[in-house]
Amino acid sequence: MSGPARRPPIQGADDALANQVEGYLLWQARIAEAEQRAREFTGPLEWLTTAQREEIERRYTADSLARARTDLERIAARCVSLRAEYEHRYQDLKRRCLAVTLAVCALCAALAGLALLV
């Protein structure tokens, strides 16, 4: 009566694939935007020849994408830095919480020991 056994998807692999697809789509949108802006830039320059217009558009697009890549690399580096900082703070907080818990437990045990003696 039961159908074929289904294995649950591997979450990490699915996330990585989704991130790659999302990154690809975002970059393609960035390329399309840069090309559109390049066409808008050369549009009013009616005196350009076709070859000149194409060259300016190509250079404008390349420059826009180089700047976008630099921005994304800077943002990614900052994300890594923040993650490390937050992980460090989390570990400190975990240690402090454990120390307080152990101190409270020791205090309770000491008070219980005193109560038994009295």
Residue 1 in this model has a pLDDT that exceeds 50: no
- Number of domains composing the chain: 1
> Does residue 113 sit within a domain?
yes
Q: What pLDDT shows up at residue 70? A: 96
Domain with 60, as residue range(s), is: 18-117
Residue 3 domain-assigned (yes or no): no
Instruction: Evaluate whether 31 touches 57 at the Cβ level (below 8 Å).
Output: no
- Residue 101 within any structural domain of the chain: yes
Specify if 11 maps to a domain. no
In a domain, 95, yes or no: yes
Flag whether 12 is in a domain: no
- Among 9-13, 32-36, 66-70, 109-113, whose mean pLDDT is lowest? 9-13
4: confidence class by pLDDT, cuts 50, 70, 90: low
2 inside domain: no
Q: Is the pLDDT of residue 114 over 80?
A: yes
Does a structural domain hold residue 90?
yes
Distances in Å between the Cα of 17 and the Cα atoms of 7, 11, 27, 50 are: 18, 10, 15, 41
